[in-house]
Chain A
Amino acid sequence: MMLVKLLILLSFLCLSLTGGGTLALATDKIIKIDGSSTVYPVTEAVAEEFNKATKGKVKVTVGISGTGGGFKKFVRGETDISNASRPILAKEMEEAKKNGITYIELPVAFDALTVMVHPSNTWAETLTVAELKKIWEPEAQGKITNWNQVRPGFPDAPLKLFGAGADSGTFDYFTEAIVGKAKSSRGDFTASEDDNVLVQGIAGDKNALGFFGYAYYAENKDKLKAVAIDAGKGKAVLPSEATVIDGSYYPLSRPIFIYVNKKSLDTRPEVKEFVEFYLKNAAKLAKEVKYVPLPAEAYEAAMKRFKAGKTGTVFGGTPEVGLTIHEVLKRELKE
């Protein structure tokens, strides 16, 4: 009885005390980062190392609200850096302009999608983008249900499809690259936001076909077989670090980005220090978390853009498929 009364009184006391509190932590050096969960492992690695290097004097925080959610905060000026698995969109650019936010767009690593089949699948060694489109476009729903419909000569076996869930950036990019329009896809496939579920699904069904991030394939090479992709040039390319870096694994690889708020950069030296640290160490750290790093000269070009403080995006608000990293860095920036 006394205990409860005491608890009640204490909690009231707590509440009344908090009312008078102020933001006591404003003096701390905090770098706020939020955004894509695809970029997260790389940024986490950099933040971890930066934390060690500065002995915890600068506090870096990283959230995973997704690329869209991250940009929502970024264009309001609530975060210093935004992780993005796709370029900033026109809508978000407009919002940023309205709030007086300018930003520097920096590619930090590659993300490659892998098309996968069961290891005992002997027929689908390669697939063309056209064949993939035939399988995944919305019109295929309920119609393309057998492997022999994909290419003459393929066996008469049911086609079981697995893919990333509709809320993920992976799904957006795959549909954009294969079907030609983001989010445009058939709906009758096993979808999951968790790529590990897809790994299980494909590994357990010899008629399966699916797609997901390269890192998940790299971890499960014994259970899955990657399909070489032929973009119509007559040459099929398997995903690997080398083919992603030289741009020949087309169109299923893309650079991922960080966006840095220019104002944070100009007013707070620790933000500048962090981004420089990021670009200097990204190659090594991306590899450690099983991502494909950019070529060395790309990091140099990004560093040059950063040091010159050049703001804006090279994409102009519409995502593009299959841009090589050189194009991403050479093109003209637009605000």
Chain B
Amino acid sequence: MNNLETLISRSLWQDRFFNVLGILCTCVGLVTLLALLVDLAVDGATRINWQFMTSFPSRFANKAGILSAWVGTLAVMVVTAGAAIPLGIAAAIYLEEYAGKNWFTDFIEINIANLAGVPSIIYGLMALGLFVYKFHLGESILSAGLTLGFLVLPIIIVATRESLRSIPADIREASYAQGATQWQTVWSHLLPYATGGIATGVIIALSRAIGETAPLVTIGALTFIAFLPPTPIQATPPFLSLDWIWSKFTVLPIQMFNWVSRPQKEFHLNAAATGLILLVMTLSFNALAIYIRYRMRQRIKW
């Protein structure tokens, strides 16, 4: 009897211990993020104002701004999302719903896992050879967006597959039973239910892409650029223009890197402010995804 009690109390104690350990582990992540935010905010908050957001780089720290950088980051992200999301989702649908179980599918799967582990600078080198030189896309927003698109493709594929896999087989069977084709099943049932998971994957992917510097420097991203890409909306027909994807660009992390390495302290403040903006951009991407996921989950009625 006594023996059983000690056993129970020991188990309870282990339980409590693990609970505390778990909380501590969670806190490490949270405290790090918080410390980072506070540190950046303390240094950078004073620099964040209208002038900083609407000025080009300058040799005077207090006149310098990140206009070309945040516009560049945004433009590159649009291309990245435009390239990686459809490709990634399509690949995942194929692998999960259409592909037969054979050596070729295994081969693709192993390689997607491998791709996820390739260092980003390697993607930069590939992009320099392929996009910039071979396809003559130049050192453009398009090249950069495609490069980062490839970089994050495996993340989107894996997330989409997980999400598709978690949909109960009943749903598919019910759809087929109604006479739906495989494509109709995918488009009208599986994709809507998987949206939450896909959105999460897309966000993780874009959050990773937004902070990348190495591959972009490799393909020729600039540091000083005092003009913006042409606007996508025009006054004359056809009103929409895609000229901006050919434009040269810089991005926030590159501007940050440049300022951090300057001797003058005022530039370090600029770097902190840029970091803060970058974080805000990433976090607002996340918020958007969480919102989309929330809306989607509300609509799902199994």
Contacts and interface: CB of A to CB of B under 8 A. Distances in A.
Contact of B226 (A14, A24, A25, A56): A56
Contacts of B211: none
A293 to B, nearest CB: 14
A3 interface: yes
Given A11-B81, A15-B86, A213 B263 contact: yes
A41 B262 contact: yes
B263 A62 contact: no
Given A1-B296, A4-B198, A8-B85, A195 B247 contact: no
Interface of B: 56-59, 81-83, 85-86, 89, 138, 142, 187, 191-192, 195, 198, 217, 220-227, 230, 242-243, 245-248, 258, 260-265, 268, 292, 296, 299
30 contacts: A1-B192, A1-B195, A1-B299, A3-B292, A4-B198, A8-B86, A10-B82, A21-B245, A21-B246, A25-B230, A25-B247, A34-B220, A41-B262, A44-B58, A44-B224, A47-B224, A48-B56, A56-B227, A59-B226, A61-B224, A61-B225, A61-B248, A63-B221, A63-B223, A64-B217, A65-B220, A73-B220, A194-B260, A216-B263, A288-B59
Interface string A147-174: 0000000000000000000000000000
Contacts, number: 120
Contacts of A73: 220
Contact of A62 (B223, B243, B260, B292): B223
A44 B82 CA distance: 33
Interface string A1-43: 1011101101110110110010111000010001001001101
Question: Main SS of chain A's interface residues?
Answer: helix
A56 B225 CA distance: 11
A14 B142 CA distance: 11
A18 B142 contact: yes
Closest 8 CB pairs of A and B: A62-B224, A45-B59, A11-B82, A1-B192, A219-B263, A216-B263, A215-B263, A24-B243
Contacts of B58: 44, 48
A7 B85 CA distance: 9
Given A14-B242, A56-B226, A73-B220, 16 more contacts: A1-B195, A1-B299, A11-B83, A11-B85, A12-B86, A15-B82, A21-B242, A24-B246, A40-B258, A48-B59, A61-B222, A62-B223, A64-B217, A65-B220, A193-B261, A195-B263
Nearest to A215: B263
A51 B57 CA distance: 11
Contacts of B299: 1
Nearest to A73: B220
Given A11-B86, A25-B243, A196 B198 contact: no
Nearest to B193: A1
A10 B264 CA distance: 45
Contacts of A64: 217, 223, 258
A37 B262 CA distance: 10
A218 interface: yes
A290 interface: yes
A23 B59 contact: no
Nearest to A199: B263
A228 interface: no
A117 interface: no
Contacts of B296: 1
